[in-house]
Structure 1
């Protein structure tokens, strides 16, 4: 009878230890899985932040260009380059001839 009780205690202890080891293994596996997901999200966050910075710079350049387009200097440059217009008293030297 005493031998049977020791065997039951050992079996119960062994079963408990197996369950603890299994639970610890599951926790470690899930932790690793979450760490990989976190790293992926961090990379995505970094890429999106770079994209935000790029678009912010682009928006600033567009704003500067918009301000330049509304100046008299821009209108004169377009008239000279695309339309070939000049002022009445302006002398143009053609280096090609």
Structure 2
């Protein structure tokens, strides 16, 4: 499984890179703040909403600490998606939130 640190993701965004970020936290967690532009698909719904994702794109998976996003990454990889897990999750995120 590919991984990036929160700092690496922040640097890529600050350089103007377009990242497809999926936040797999629950709705109430995301309400407290998420990475700007991230799409919220709670981990429990990934299996039912993966049809919304494009297998030709690469996705950065995010959660609170990196555990749930790791699970989501493994599942989606098994379904043929290109994914990167953001290790450390939002606990390690120092960038802007919306």
More helix by share: 1
Shorter-chain TM-score above 0.5: no
Report the structure number with the largest CA radius of gyration: 1
TM-score (norm 2): 0.17
Q: Which has the higher strand share?
A: 2
Alignment TM-score, normalising by the size of structure 1: 0.17
